[in-house]
Amino acid sequence: MKKHISLLLVLIILFSMPTALATGNVKINSITATSTVGTVPFYDKFTGHVTGKVTSWAWKFHNIKSGATTYSTESGTAGHTFKKPGVYDVTLTVKGPGGSDTLTKKSFITAKTNQRLIANFAASPVSGKTPLKVHFTDKSTGIPTYWSWTFGDGGKTIAKNPTHIYKKAGSYTVSLTVKNYYLNSVKTVSKMITVK
């Protein structure tokens, strides 16, 4: 009788103990970074906090705006240098004997530019007879990623270096707005184009 009671107690103790993760199961609990904001180029370190046996690691750093993606196969802690400004998703995929797991942290890293954004442009020719074909060249500084032009005659475009045809005589004011992830700048030149 005593033996049966002792065995019963042992079984109760065993079944009441926390169950360990099954062999081969892998789970990513979280991803952490040394810093989530920096000025390009900046070096950052990422750690994948994973439960279970891992045999391979795959990191992906994705620029949301440009679509540029870089990869790393470093293990638990991976280093990465962000060379281009933007907002980045960070994805970790791990694999083990019994399966795999993937975790993505959306908009996790913000890489800023240390340059001022200053709109500037040139045009050629700036005068002539109608119809006058004018080529505009963006000369902005600070890594713009968006351009918006108005040509003074109702015409507009978001091309970087556009060509515009003026069909009526007159003097026209040209404006360029440039933007990147954090800044914007505008330059307007009054009566820049003269069409005779």
Give me the pLDDT at residue 40, please: 87
Clarify whether residues 39 and 104 are in a common domain. yes
Clarify whether residues 60 and 139 are in a common domain. no
* Distance in angstroms (rounded) separating the CA atoms of residues 52 and 81: 28
Beta bridge partners, 146, equal 179
Residue 105 lies in a domain: yes
* Distance in angstroms (rounded) separating the CA atoms of residues 33 and 45: 6
Q: According to DSSP H, which parts of the chain are helical?
A: 2-16
Q: Let me know: does 72 contact 50? Beta carbons within 8 Å.
A: no
SS3 for the chain, per residue?
CHHHHHHHHHHHHHHHCCCCCCCCCCEEEEEEECCCEEECCEEEEEEEEEECCCCEEEEEEEECCCCCEEEECCCCEEEEEECCCEEEEEEEEEEECCEEEEEEEEEEEEEECCCCCECCEEEECCEECCCEEEEEEECCECCCCEEEEECCCCCEECCCCCEEEECCCEEEEEEEEEECCCCEEEEEEEEEEEEC
| Final residue in a domain of this structure, among 112, 133, 157 | 112
Beta bridge partners, 106, equal none
- Give the pLDDT confidence of 61-82 residue by residue, as tens digits: 999 988 899 999 998 899 999 9
Q: How many CB atoms lie within 10 A of CB 17?
A: 7
Nearest alpha-carbon partner for 28 in 13, 48, 47:
48
Clarify whether residues 30 and 105 are in a common domain. yes
| Final residue in a domain of this structure, among 112, 133, 164 | 112
Q: Structural domain of residue 77, as residue ranges?
A: 23-112
Q: What is the mean pLDDT of residues 100-113?
A: 94
Give me the pLDDT at residue 21, please: 38
What's the total number of domains in the chain? Answer: 2
Q: What is the pTM of this model?
A: 0.55
Clarify whether residues 28 and 102 are in a common domain. yes
Clarify whether residues 39 and 102 are in a common domain. yes
Clarify whether residues 91 and 172 are in a common domain. no
Query: Would you put residue 116 in left (φ > 0), alpha (ψ -120 to 50) or beta?
Result: beta
- Give the pLDDT confidence of 2-48 residue by residue, as tens digits: 444 454 444 444 333 333 333 358 999 999 999 999 988 899 999 99
Clarify whether residues 89 and 126 are in a common domain. no
